[in-house]
Structure 1
Amino acid sequence: MNPICNLFHIKYPIIQAGMVWCSGWRLASAVSNTGGLGIIGAGSMYPEVLRAHIQKCKAATAKPFAVNIPLLYPNIKEIIDIVVEEEVKIVFSSAGNPATWTSFLKEKGITVVHVVANTKFALKAQEAGVDAIVAEGFEAGGHNGREETTTLCLIPIIKSAIKIPVIAAGGIGSGKAMLAAFALGADAVQVGSAFAVAEESSAHPAFKNKIISATEGDTRLAMKKLVPVRLLKNEFAEAVATAEADGANREVLIALLGRARAKLGMFEGDMENGELEIGQVSAMLNEIKPAGEILQDIWQEFLAEKDRVTKLAF
């Protein structure tokens, strides 16, 4: 049996990313009900908002689901307590040191997965005792690795360095990409951008429409002096690019970013002044449809491509 399906008790080795302002209980439960692993993104939720999403997700699905927790979250202790109190069975951690909370979570019977963008942190996460790794390549949306290693290179490097299962992420929005990730050694895939435009995604309709209108080259990696993040191009992204070209330091970039910039764009729908986090695969997305249909399309294409490649004569 697939090790990730066995670990999470799911039907398909397809994980929905815990994206800020997109991954609420509706999306997570829809993905889980279809046989994948849905994830609630805690990064854009106050503690009690997260509790409400967990409770609604439990009411909407009897299948496994997870919560993604950025470990640098200011209310991290409160968030962890809520996850334990609400008996969440799977946690995906990111943006911080996994050694801080992994042992505590595992003592509570929680399966822990950590997101990394290089081999150094994959090894640290494995040493911390996590059950699996998400290896996220440069193509991914949102916060990204400073090394700018693409998924094509990152997956086989990390797979050869660690002994626990590897979930590939970054640029994966189709069955063809999923098959490629498996060929590189992945045990499962994590899909973000393709689910950001799902009907059940909590992203603003204007953001979804901008994603499906995106073409090749419409995203860029920005703010490397802070935390690298991949953005759709708009007035805010161009202002950041201009500031960086002029040699802006961290303080200038922090002031330009301000507060709640991602919420302004992704959740409230300001397509020019908001921060619009999305992956390069947005150029391949052209339709808003139910999450279950998205998952099944990926899986069926994966199976069809696997058969096609198997039949190739070399």
Structure 2
Amino acid sequence: MNSIKKLFNIEVPIIQGGMVWCSGWRLASAVSNAGGLGLIGAGSMYPEVLREHIQKCRIATSKPFGVNVPLLYPDIEKIMEIIVEEKVEIVFSSAGNPALWTPFLKENNISVVHVIANRKFAEKAEQSGVDAIVAEGFEAGGHNGREETTTLCLVPEICDAVSIPVIAAGGIGSGKAMLAAFALGAEGVQAGSLFAASIESSAHPEFKQAIVQAAEGDTKLSMKSLMPVRLLKNDFYLQVAKAEAEGASRAELIILLGKGRAKKGMFEGDLTEGELEIGQVASYVHDIKPAAQILTEMWQEFILEKERISKLKF
């Protein structure tokens, strides 16, 4: 049996990314009900808001779901306390040292997966006791690795470096991409951008439309000297690009970024001054669909392509 399906007790090895301002209980439950693993994105939630989303998700689905937790979150102790109190069974951690919280989570019978972008952190994550790793390539939306390693290069590198299951992320926008990830050694995939534009996504309708209208080359890795993040190009992105080209310091970039930029863009729909985090596969998205349809289409294409490849003669 596929190790990711077994680990999470799911029907298909497709995980929905726990994206800030997009991944609430409606999206997570829809993906889980369709047979994948839905994740609630805790990074944009106050602790009690997260509790509410967990409780609503449990009402909306009887199937497994998890919570994505950026470990640099300022209220991390309270977040972890709520996760244990609400008996969450799966946590995807990111943006921090997994050794700080993995033992605590494992002691509470929680499966832990950590998101990494290079071999060094993959090895540290395995040493900390995580159950699986998400290898997220340069193509991904949101916060990204400084190394700018593509998924095609990263996944086999990480599969060779660790003995635990690897989930591929970054540029996963189709069943064909999923099959390619499996050929590289992954045993599951995580997709974010496709689900950001789903009907159940909590993103603002204007942001969803911006994703649908995005063309090839409309996203760019930005703020590399601060915290690399892939953004859809808009006026805010151009301001940042200009500041970086002129040699802006970290302090100046922090001032330019300000507070609440991602919320302004992704949740409130300010497409001019907001921070619009999305992956390169945005150019693949042409419709706003139900999450279940997105997952089903990816899985069906994966099966068809797998059969096609098996029949090739060389």
C-alpha distance in structure 2 between counterparts of 1:200 and 1:220, whole Å: 26
Instruction: Give the aligned residue type for 2:128.
Output: A
3-state SS in 2 of match to 1:115: strand
Structure 1 distance, partners of 2:206, 2:142, is: 18
- Structure 1 residues 175-219: Cα deviation after superposition (integer angstroms, max 9, x where no partner): 000000000000000000000011000000000000010000000
Corresponding residue for 1:221? 221
2:65 corresponds in structure 1 to: 65
Q: TM-score, normalised by structure 2?
A: 1.00
Deviation at 1:239, TM superposition (A): 0.4
In structure 2, the residue matched to 1:236 is 236
Give the letter aligned to residue 259 of structure 2: R
The answer for the alignment partner of 2:36 in structure 1 is 36
Q: Which residue of 2 aligns with 1:24?
A: 24
CA distance in 1, matches of 2:97, 2:81: 18
Opposite residue 130 of structure 2, the aligned amino acid is: V
Measured against aligned partners, the alpha-carbon deviations of 1:218-264 in whole angstroms (never above 9, x if no partner) come to 00000011110000000000000000000001011000000000000
CA distance in 2, matches of 1:219, 1:86: 37
Is structure 2 residue 258 aligned with structure 1 residue 262? no
Give the counterpart letter for 1:213 in structure 2.
Q
Aligned to 2:277: 277
Q: Could you say what secondary structure the match of 2:93 adopts? A: strand
> C-alpha distance in 2, partners of 1:44/1:282?
21
Distance in 1, Cα, partners of 2:293 & 2:217 = 27
Matched residue, 1:185: 185
Q: Which amino acid aligns with 2:159?
A: K
> What CA distance in whole angstroms lies between the structure 2 residues aligned with 1:171 and 1:177?
7
Dislocated runs of 4+, deviation >3 Å: none
Question: What corresponds to 2:164 in structure 1?
Answer: 164
* Aligned position for 2:197: 197
Partner of 1:150: 150
Q: Secondary structure at the match of 2:30?
A: helix
2:202 matched to 1:206?
no
State the AA in 2 paired with 1:232.
L
**Per-residue deviation at 1:310?**
1.1
- Residue in 2 aligned with 1:92? 92
SS at structure 2 position matched to 1:35: coil
Aligned to 2:299: 299
If the length of structure 1 is used for normalisation, what is the TM-score? 1.00
- Fraction of identical pairs, as percent: 71
Q: Name the amino acid aligned to 1:259.
A: K
Aligned to 1:277, what secondary structure does the other structure show?
Answer: coil
Counterpart of 1:112 in structure 2 is 112
- The SS at the match of 2:305 is helix
Matched residue, 1:80: 80
- Counterpart amino acid of 2:273? N
2-side partners of 1:224 and 1:83: how far apart?
32
SS in 2 for 1:221: strand
Cα distance in 1 between the residues matched to 2:173 and 2:38: 15
CA deviation vs aligned residue, 1:278-309 (integer Å, no higher than 9, x gap): 00000111010100000000000000111111
Instruction: Report what 2:56 is aligned to.
Output: 56
2: CA distance between counterparts of 1:59 and 1:249? Answer: 47
Note the residue ranges of structure 1 that are not aligned, 5 or more in a row: none
RMSD over aligned CA atoms reads 0.4
Deviations 1:1-56 (A, max 9, x none): 00000000000000000000000000000000000000000000000000000000
